[in-house]
A and B are shown apart, each in its own frame.
Chain A
Amino acid sequence: QKEVEQDPGPLSVPEGAIVSLNCTYSNSAFQYFMWYRQYSRKGPELLMYTYSSGNKEDGRFTAQVDKSSKYISLFIRDSQPSDSATYLCAMSLYYGNNRLAFGKGNQVVVIP
């Protein structure tokens, strides 16, 4: 079983729709939870970061973490064509460890 599971299926949505992405994980030692966005031919860039259960909002983006269920989500409201990218969930363990465990990513296409 992989440490982080993210159903890698592509997602096409019309502009203005809500995009919902999620990951599950098996290692309860993960402390920090991130969402990265990766545009074609670019490296991943950090989108959202949280370390506690609950919701974190940043503009049109909301990250949710449920540590009891080992489940994290990302919601994108009012999606725009510029949101078209691959979204990767990532997690890290504890202080002193920069190793990130990634999900496989979801390719999101927002259709104008």
Chain B
Amino acid sequence: KAGVTQTPRYLIKTRGQQVTLSCSPISGHRSVSWYQQTPGQGLQFLFEYFSETQRNKGNFPGRFSGRQFSNSRSEMNVSTLELGDSALYLCASSSGTSGRDEQFFGPGTRLTVL
């Protein structure tokens, strides 16, 4: 069974630009969550989608948005990039929405903002 895939793996952007990251969950998984990982703050929850609906949202500005498609693939978008947005962006997929369902993480997209 293929794992969670994220594209691209590495990305370099400049301040003010926008970026779109993609996540393909494990086949059959309908929940996709996004996290930002930085050395200073660690892993922070961005949002979760289930069946194309945002279920939970973390404490991030509106520049961070996401969506999920009918095939469960998800994208997240960051507009007007800031230097502080440089981070590893991870997505995780899960078969359900219980806090007990294991979440499987992808390898992440490393975003560098110059």
Contact = CB atoms under 8 A, between A and B. Distances in A.
B107 A41 contact: yes
B107 A98 contact: no
B4 interface: yes
Contacts of B102: 46, 49
Contacts of A105: 42-43
Given A42-B107, A43-B107, A45-B105, A95 B99 contact: yes
A94 B103 CA distance: 14
Interface string A73-112: 0000000000000001010111111111111110000000
B interface, size bucket: 20 to 34
B77 to A, nearest CB: 20
Question: Secondary structure at chain A's binding surface: helix, strand, loop or mixed?
Answer: loop
B28 interface: no
B55 A44 contact: no
Contacts, number: 79
Contact of B56 (A32, A41, A95, A99): A99
A95 B94 CA distance: 13
Interface of B: 4, 31, 33, 35, 41-45, 48, 50, 55-56, 58, 90, 92, 94, 97-108
19 contacts: A6-B42, A32-B100, A42-B107, A43-B90, A43-B92, A43-B106, A44-B43, A46-B102, A49-B102, A92-B100, A97-B56, A97-B99, A98-B33, A98-B55, A99-B56, A100-B35, A102-B44, A105-B42, A105-B43
